[in-house]
Chains A and B, each alone.
Chain A
Amino acid sequence: MKQSLIARVGLPRIIIFAFLLLLLALCVLTKQDLGAITGDVIVRFGMNGILALSMFPSILCGAGLNFGVPIGVIAGLVGGLLSVEFGMTGFGGVAAACLFSVPIAVAFGYLYGKLLNTVKGNEIVVGNYISYAAVSLMCIFWLLMPFTNPAITWPIRGTGVRTTVTLEGFYDGLLNDTLSFTVLGVKIPTLLLAAFALACVLIWLFSRSKTGLLMKAAGENPMYAAAAGISVDAMRLKGIILSTLLAAVGIVIYSQSYGFYQLYNAPLNMAFAPVAAVLLGGATTRTVKIRHVIIGTFLFQAIITVAMPVANQLAPDGGLAEVARIIVSNGIILYALMQSGGERK
């Protein structure tokens, strides 16, 4: 009975949960501000949620974990910069950023999906390096793009995009602060959570639509799908486009909370945290549920946030918290690969 409980909840989740409890205990022992830490956890949960949700359509349609997050992120960043360029602030700014990024994300997702359809079975490694190449190519474009708003361009040269574009005065923390309230010393970012919830509901509804079900069928068993008359490649393409779109919107929500658009090499490893999060939540390279995204993102962000003050206590000079993030996220992905590798042969 005990065995089956471990099997049901999953070893990685149990380890991470135990680790989280240990960290919390250490926090209490070292008299950290638990309210502030909890607030941080909630904010990070909200801001990373949609990025993690971008794994959902990709896994659903059979293209596996979406290592193409950076491609969507680039689309979102271009959309975001456009909204800043036109000086749009407040809710209009966030909405414009999302809207501008939609056509770009669809175009990028289409090309990326076409490519992934030719490399079936190797989506992860190809997707990862295509994303790296895209990010490094974009570095050149950031330098050359004809933005003119001084909030974007380098101060002295007046051309080229800065490495970080601040959103102060545009929509910095807009969703975090509007309608927020404080309970037991914990600040609840109402709209941020609502945005993530809305995205989850929309994707859940999508999974209950005709396209969603057919996409699931194409992903689960391409041979069944072919025999039923489903065009597997078209379904995969749709799923990848949707994933790219979610990543684009995800980075806008993330950035408004973070307060900056981070450019150049910043998107490079953006895929790893969301990948690790959904795997931690219980997804595999072939199956995923919305609850995996939610649980996973929460656990993953909680670990990283709670680890920070503890780590600083242990080794004041170094980035021990960063080290914890590296070990946890890559360890989880490796574990998942080993699990799915065992089934192959």
Chain B
Amino acid sequence: MESEQPRLSLRHISKSYSGNRVLSDVSLDVRAGEIHALLGENGAGKSTLMKILMGMDEIRQSGGFEGEILLDGEPVQIDSPKRAHELGVCMVHQELMLVNGFTVAENIRVGREPVKRIGRGERDAACLPIDFSRLREQAKTALERLHVELDGDMPIAELPVTQMQFVEIAREVDRPGIRLLILDEPTAVLNDEEAECLLDRMARLKQSGLSILFITHRLGEVLRCCDRITVLRDGAVAGRAESGKTSAAAIAEMMIGKRLLAIHTSERISFGEPTEEPVLQLNGFWADLPGERVERLDLEVRRGEILGLGGLSGQGKIGFANGLMGLCPSGGVVILDGRELSLGDAGSVLRAGFGFVSEDRRRVGLLSGSSIEENIAIPAMLNFGRFLRRVGPVQMIDRRAMRANALEFIHALDIRCTGPDQPAGMLSGGNQQKVCVAQALTLRPRILLVSEPTRGIDIGAKHLLLNVLLRLNREQGITIVFTSSELQELRSVCDRIAIISRGRVAGILPPDAPEAEFGLMMSGLDVKRSGV
């Protein structure tokens, strides 16, 4: 077994984006005819690794990468997707890459259509007419290889997503000389039954000798169909396993990691222990955020607590805050202090006493071209009429008050900047995040919704931010709903942690519950077992 030549071998791959290391020393072997699972949280480096493997422009433009790639023992240079295809490395993208106006058959052979024979010789010129009857046959053969029955003349747009997925796989598998197929979260958009069907086809492809690199979040699938597993965390290999010799809990633990953050929990000064009294109640709350759909959330947030929302990505934890703010379609009953909240408009939610720090600070959280002070002041100005003074009939901005407020927060949160008039986009990630927090605090909220505040910022800034959240809670009594992908972060500051899986609350655990319990709950396995 050990002496066998691996189909694909990645050796010591490292990659940095403008000084920011996203992959360090990743090595990975995929054997011939195996299904190899690549697991990892968002931002673990999976997609960067795939971009390197497919020779995407982005990699070259950002300065290339270190390490080498071997295919069947031969070192190769993959500098474009075309080159990857030539070498037999093909990928099915998560967002389906199908030409919408084309039929199934046209899509399977797109770019490689057979042309009509003229004279005796087989010519391959782009200026000859396409032979559509041969095209149909070839497409049929490709689909048969996957054991899929589909009418080649169907317009692709009329197919359900599963079958689109199959067409795309058929197209890639049909490429001459294919050696390695990469599937990027192919089951993310499928229901259980459809996913089962796909796994079955993958097993058949494997039998025909193809190697498959399978990226997914669903641990159950991994255990069922994969031969070996590699887990990435923070750009490095966190662990390897063979599927027969491991458990979902063990894999989940690898993904989450064991590092504990050294947060010094400051003593509660005046507000005492969190009460049992609910401040916010959600009944049948749903939110339709693409990729992070909340199916049905029944949850109580207690006054004065820090409630953590955890779970794997794609399960809906991010959907909660966005849905509450009305940034995506949402509904259900939301009761704040005994009064039902009307959803759908961010302004009215803010005025009801919420503060919101988005998980996407660049796109949602900040006006990157505007000054820090404006960034901090705008929501409070609009919703509470602060920083304004009346001049005749018009409301002018009270620049002085705005600046004073900004200076106060720059001091309190230690925002490193040249001054309150520096454009927010020029700040480092951690400082941008502090601006977002300052913006939410300027609203003087009773409940603060914070999502992924530490994503993509360095460890020092992480500690600072978590401490800020703790202090706000302990010293000012602000209730906080803290959403994060990093379980250890949640465990270090939260009073309770709710794990969200498949858009529902899978369970609520105290922060000191054992790792394995969190792991199982996140994997969704126990939920499924009890359901079946």
Interface residues of A (CB under 8 A from B): 205, 208-211, 213-214, 216-217, 220-221, 223-224, 226-230, 287
Interface residues of B (CB under 8 A from A): 325-327, 345-351, 356, 358, 360, 363-370, 374, 378-379, 381-383, 388, 394-397, 399
| B378 and A213 form a contact (CB under 8 A) | yes
Pair count A-B, CB < 8 A: 78
- A205, A209, A217, A228: residue with the most chain B Cβ atoms closer than 10 Å: A228
| B327 and A209 form a contact (CB under 8 A) | no
| Docked complex Cα distance between A213 and B383 (Å) | 14
- B349, B367, B370: residue with the most chain A Cβ atoms closer than 10 Å: B367
| Docked complex Cα distance between A229 and B351 (Å) | 9
| B363 and A229 form a contact (CB under 8 A) | no
| A223 and B369 form a contact (CB under 8 A) | no
| B383 and A210 form a contact (CB under 8 A) | no
| B370 and A209 form a contact (CB under 8 A) | no
| B346 and A220 form a contact (CB under 8 A) | no
The 4 tightest CB contacts between A and B, nearest first, are: A229-B347, A228-B379, A210-B395, A229-B346
| B382 and A209 form a contact (CB under 8 A) | no
Determine the chain A residues whose CB is within 8 A of the CB of B397 once the complex forms: 208-210, 213
- Contact A209-B345, Cβ < 8 Å, known A217-B370, A230-B382: no
- Contact A229-B364, Cβ < 8 Å, known A208-B397, A220-B370: no
Given contact pairs A209-B397, A210-B382, A227-B346, enumerate 17 new A-B contacts (beta carbons under 8 Å).
A205-B396, A210-B396, A211-B395, A214-B382, A216-B367, A217-B374, A220-B367, A223-B327, A223-B364, A224-B366, A226-B346, A227-B325, A227-B327, A229-B347, A229-B349, A230-B347, A287-B369
Cβ 8 A contact of A224, one of B347, B350, B367, B399: B367
Determine the chain A residues whose CB is within 8 A of the CB of B325 once the complex forms: 227
| A221 and B363 form a contact (CB under 8 A) | yes
Determine the chain B residues whose CB is within 8 A of the CB of A213 once the complex forms: 374, 378, 381, 397
Cβ 8 A contact of B367, one of A208, A217, A229: A217
Determine the chain A residues whose CB is within 8 A of the CB of B364 once the complex forms: 221, 223-224, 227
| Docked complex Cα distance between A329 and B367 (Å) | 31
5 interchain pairs (CB within 8 A)?
A217-B367, A223-B363, A228-B382, A228-B383, A229-B382
- Contact A229-B350, Cβ < 8 Å, known A213-B381, A217-B367, A221-B367: yes
| Docked complex Cα distance between A340 and B220 (Å) | 46
| B350 and A210 form a contact (CB under 8 A) | no
| A221 and B379 form a contact (CB under 8 A) | no
Determine the chain B residues whose CB is within 8 A of the CB of A227 once the complex forms: 325, 327, 346, 356, 358, 364-365, 379
| Docked complex Cα distance between A208 and B368 (Å) | 18
| B327 and A214 form a contact (CB under 8 A) | no
Determine the chain A residues whose CB is within 8 A of the CB of B358 once the complex forms: 227
Determine the chain A residues whose CB is within 8 A of the CB of B327 once the complex forms: 223, 226-227
| Docked complex Cα distance between A227 and B322 (Å) | 9
Determine the chain B residues whose CB is within 8 A of the CB of A226 once the complex forms: 326-327, 346
Determine the chain A residues whose CB is within 8 A of the CB of B348 once the complex forms: 229
- Contact A209-B394, Cβ < 8 Å, known A220-B367, A226-B327, A227-B327: yes
